[in-house]
A and B are shown apart, each in its own frame.
Chain A
Amino acid sequence: MNAKNRLTASAAAAALLAACLSAGAAAAADLVISNWDGYMAPDIADAFKAATGLEIEVVNHATNEEVMGKLMASGGKGYDVVFVSSPFAEILNGQGLAEPIDKAAVPNLANLYPEATTLAYDPGNTFSVPYTWGSTGLCYRSDLVEGTPDSWMNLLQPTDKLKGKTTMLATDRWLMAAGELAKGYSVNEKDPAKLEEVKNLLIEAKKTLLAYDDTTFYSKLVSAEASLVQAWDGWCNYGITENKAIKFVVPKEGSDLWIDTIVVMKSSENKEAAMKFINFILDAKNHAWAAQNILYKVPNKAAMESLDKALAEQYPNMAMAPADLVKFELLRDLGTAQKDYSRIVSEIKAAN
């Protein structure tokens, strides 16, 4: 290679490098969004770009705790919009990390059910917008369970036939909620005496349990490894998809109301785009995607009314009315009582 060629080659390399750098700069998105894997339409970035010309980058988190850990470590930087469950939205707001929702920039808020705009943790949707909501109840194999379970006690004190065939959610708040609801207490109960009763009930229940499971309980039902499990309604629907004998019921003592929300970070440098994104999600067609594909109820009246009636026939819990849902109590952040809860859950899990 002579000198001239070498020069050309290095110039070409430099040009290539420059091209790479500028491509890298162009790829830097307008918004970074953290969500659970599969919780939005896979083509959301393209659809959003087509509608607004804005680029979004979607990163996934497996759990609320994971994204919260990242946000706490970075002081909220690096993300514009995060999807978290309501108690975590409450924490973000409590820590001053959540940006107020700019109502004027989100006209599609009008699509929400009135019930979804007066939720106890954030009445008036000041810092969060609900994305999906539902209940926690019993998911069971109607062909393997005698009669229709209608009480949390069916799970906590199962018949001999069901012993070793039940699972409970592993996440501490829902694990506690099953015991609290069975006793007729609040799912945010803080009275130590009442918590002690709940603890004893749950330690007894542990002896009859197959496992604590909050990720694969519905597949355990499908494989008949379990017959009756504590489940979020949407996840029970995944079981129903695979086996029609699987049914969901909210026990007579009630349920909690869980809500996954969208929060804009105060540290976001592109809040206007973030509000546009929320408005885009709340569009009836886009929001209906979640109901159709992840089988969770969405608090969007226009979206729910656009759904095919067959969906609610196959998955009856999809038809649960908002007025009935909001009768259930929300899990709230416990503040200092969190220590008591985590100790009790440790005690339950360490019990033999």
Chain B
Amino acid sequence: MVVPCLLVLSYAFFQRGVWGGVEYTFTLENFARVVDPLYAKIFLNSARIALTATVVAILIAYPAAYAISRAPRMTQPILLFFAVLPFWSNYLIRTYAWIVLLNREGLINNLLRTLGYTGEPLSMLYTESAVIIGLVYNYLPFVILAIYSTLSRLNPELMEASRDLGAGPVRTFLRVTLPLTLPGVAAGGVFVFVLSIGNFVTPALLGGGRFQMVGNLVYDQFLTANDWPFGAALGAALILTMIVLLLLQARATAHASGERKAEAER
């Protein structure tokens, strides 16, 4: 798994041949191009879209995971099964399904028309919201699973103790449940963010190519511009961003469990 990655990354230090391909002359030019404000802007824009998708996914996934973890023991596996069910179909098919739903002549607009809405059909497809919807939809099950796993491991005695000490349900949730499940939220969140920022299918299909994300940029450099070295440099920057995020998340998790241990010792 590591070897192909390293091979691609090594291209970043060479030049694009005049006819495309890779010319084995050492250069750092590709990295200089990565920090060009244009590409920085695309990076930041991708990060913004990925972050929005992350926040929306967590806001939807937390209540869902909470509801599943509170459901009777027997029904929990069934509910989880339904949460992951969409994954049994292909990513592309799921994305095309959103095109059918969102387009101007699509199901949602038709439904609105049937319900008596007479204005211009809503333009929902090929917007930034459509891209975010697509990302959230595709990664939501991972977040639900991550949060569910921390919720289900939560010791119910802690909640009882909190109630005994006079805290209401809201206070118990905010002071006990939420802090203890944050590692799950962080794991799910980093997952959505990392996958979203590198995604190129969703922006191409649901964004109509009007929203350039880093994934599209890398894709274009490799396949359209035939500029492997620059594509590799962009890819390296993307991977580096992801590694930093994963490290931060690992540290946060370690920190949280460390805190818990310290509290337990107290």
Contact = CB atoms under 8 A, between A and B. Distances in A.
B19 A91 contact: yes
Interface stretch (A66-74, A235-243, A264-272): A66-74
A94 B19 contact: yes
Contacts of A346: 38-39, 42, 212, 217, 220
A172 B220 contact: yes
A171 B224 CA distance: 8
B222 interface: yes
Contacts of A94: 18-19
Contacts of B42: 346, 350
A217 B38 CA distance: 29
Contacts of A69: 222-223
Contacts of A171: 224
Given A164-B123, A350-B38, A350-B42, A211 B208 contact: yes
B210 interface: yes
Contact of A349 (B18, B19, B126, B212): B212
Contact residue range for chain B? 20 to 34
Interface string B8-20: 0000000011111
Interface in B199-229: 204, 208-212, 216-217, 220-227
Interface residues of A, number: 36
Given A225-B103, A225-B104, A346-B39, A339 B227 contact: yes
A341 B19 CA distance: 15
A336 B17 CA distance: 8
A63 B223 CA distance: 9
B82 to A, nearest CB: 31
A333 B16 CA distance: 14
Contact of A206 (B204, B210, B230): B210
Contacts of B221: 342
B105 interface: yes
A21 interface: no
A250 B178 CA distance: 62
B226 A341 contact: no
Contacts of A223: 103, 105
Contacts of A343: 38
Contacts of B45: 350
B103 A68 contact: no
Given A91-B19, A91-B20, A210 B225 contact: no
A350 B224 CA distance: 16
A241 to B, nearest CB: 19
B16 A339 contact: yes
A66 B223 CA distance: 7
A40 interface: no
Contacts of A341: 225
Given A91-B20, A225-B104, A336-B18, A347 B226 contact: no
Interface of B: 16-21, 38-39, 41-42, 45, 103-105, 123, 125-126, 204, 208-212, 216-217, 220-227, 230
11 contacts: A65-B223, A66-B223, A69-B222, A69-B223, A91-B19, A167-B208, A211-B126, A211-B210, A213-B208, A223-B105, A346-B220
The 4 closest A-B pairs by CB, nearest first: A211-B208, A212-B209, A65-B223, A342-B225
Given A212-B208, A338-B226, A350-B41, 19 more contacts: A63-B223, A72-B21, A95-B21, A172-B224, A172-B225, A206-B210, A211-B125, A223-B103, A336-B18, A338-B225, A338-B227, A342-B221, A342-B227, A345-B220, A346-B220, A347-B38, A349-B209, A349-B211, A349-B212
